[in-house]
Amino acid sequence: MGVTKQVLSAGDGTNFPQQGDKLTMHYIGTLASNGKKFDASRDRGRPFSFTIGVGQVIRGWDEGVAQMSLGEKANLNITSDFGYGPRGAGGVIPPNADLNFEVELLAINGKSA
């Protein structure tokens, strides 16, 4: 249960997000059960920004992205208890769904790789 990370391409290895940092990411979200894409930042034509560690995103992101260094691209495999749990999300993510995210950490507090 939780989140596991698989590095696709290494980041700088020195700059890691800290609680309260504003992060800028690109991501693709898919359902683990069938690989169906439910969201992607590039489809909207702009990256996604959030503050880490303050509950703005699902727990799997808060914990998984914190392990990434600036410029890193990784897969996050997130179990439902670290995702949207029994409520699901917006009719797009079913209840108790495990999720996969391909994520890329583009910037920390405006500093890019």
Structure tokens at 73: 């691209």
Q: How many domains does the chain have?
A: 1
Q: What is the pLDDT of residues 51-99, one digit of tens each?
A: 999 999 999 999 999 999 999 999 999 999 999 999 999 889 999 999 9
| Residues forming the active site | 27, 38-39, 58, 84, 101
Q: What is the pLDDT of residues 44-62, one digit of tens each?
A: 999 999 999 999 999 999 9
Residues 6+ apart with CB under 8 A from 4: 64, 76, 77
Backbone φ/ψ region at 96: left (φ over 0), alpha (ψ -120 to 50), beta: left
Q: What is the pLDDT of residues 8-33, one digit of tens each?
A: 999 999 999 999 999 999 999 999 99
**CA atoms of 65 and 33, how far apart (whole Å):** 22
Residue 17, domain extent: 3-112
Give the angle 41-21-102 at the CA atoms, nearest 5°. Answer: 30
How much is the pLDDT for 9?
A: 98
**CA atoms of 107 and 88, how far apart (whole Å):** 29
Residue 113 clears pLDDT 90, i.e. is over it: no
**CA atoms of 13 and 112, how far apart (whole Å):** 13
We report the CATH number of the domain holding residue 26 as: 3.10.50.40
pTM, 2 dp? 0.95
